[in-house]
Structure 1
């Protein structure tokens, strides 16, 4: 999803994601208001088309024909793909507890792999002390 949002920014098509929908046009609308509405509407249509192309409907769980605004579409996609931090924490903690050095490969790379898991846990606001990290590494080595 981040790649798609970056693409919108590079193409200058993220107007519909940055700004709210302008007021509907009326007969007395100024040419400047008409131009602004047309820019926003084009940005909205392009954003929706690109998002629909990049995310298959089977994964979205959203009927794409009902989508009228890129912002609401993006919000629905975010809800569908919301991360469950507890599951992610459990997964990282389990892998940290069960990791064992098998005697093959570079020890430095192995330690960096464990460090990567602990840094992911820190990103989830679970701070492990350096002493615990060292202990986890030492315990994972064979006797």
Structure 2
């Protein structure tokens, strides 16, 4: 787990954050938010920015502002580090972490339809070739269905089961017949 180590440096375990490539936005966002939370620098994403301190500001107000500014700086740096260079230029430059995440999200919301299409093509063309276990094959298909559900494209469990059955080898014919004739 990520955390602060004695020398004052931060071990973020960042190897688990994928680079944002265009078709992995939801996974990328989840991992970025988890990492920022584990590092305890997600404050700029969770709260509204406090007002800029003035001469009459209290020490507490100044400290609150400094924590938020630090969180914002580090969050933006981490976010930018995990955006593919070919995508980085298409995202508007933002100085606030919240605005940055919103701009990135807006960039990828329109690609949801394309992602759904890609996932549907992958799901409908999957065939169990015997190179891995049937359970692993089914779990992979369920994962694709879950990704589609997260994009608000839902279909019934029965529909998914039919996709799975159709993807199995001919040797599973008796099982398919049994399933289809069972009420």
Alignment partners' CA distance in 1, 2:135 and 2:156: 20
Give 1:90's aligned residue: 117
Give 2:134's aligned residue: 108
Alignment partners' CA distance in 2, 1:76 and 1:82: 10
Alignment partners' CA distance in 1, 2:40 and 2:48: 16
Of 12, 17, 28, the match for 2:40: 12
Q: Matched residue pairs, number? A: 140
Alignment partners' CA distance in 2, 1:81 and 1:100: 29
Alignment root-mean-square deviation, CA? 3.2
Question: How many angstroms does 1:33 deviate by?
Answer: 0.4
Give CA deviations for 1:67-123 in whole Å, capped at 9, x if unaligned.
211110111111222264433343344445445566x54683586255555555555
Structure with greater contact order relative to length (CA < 8 Å, sep ≥ 6):
1
Q: Are the counterparts in 2 of residues 100 and 140 from structure 1 also a CA contact under 8 Å? A: yes
Give 2:91's aligned residue: 62
5+ unaligned residues in a row in structure 2: which ranges? Answer: 1-28, 174-183
Give 2:15's aligned residue: none
Alignment partners' CA distance in 1, 2:63 and 2:163: 64
5+ unaligned residues in a row in structure 1: which ranges? Answer: none
Alignment partners' CA distance in 2, 1:135 and 1:38: 54
Q: Are the counterparts in 1 of residues 123 and 163 from structure 2 also a CA contact under 8 Å? A: no
TM-score with structure 1 length normalisation? Answer: 0.71
Greater shift in the superposed pair: 3-12 or 104-113: 104-113
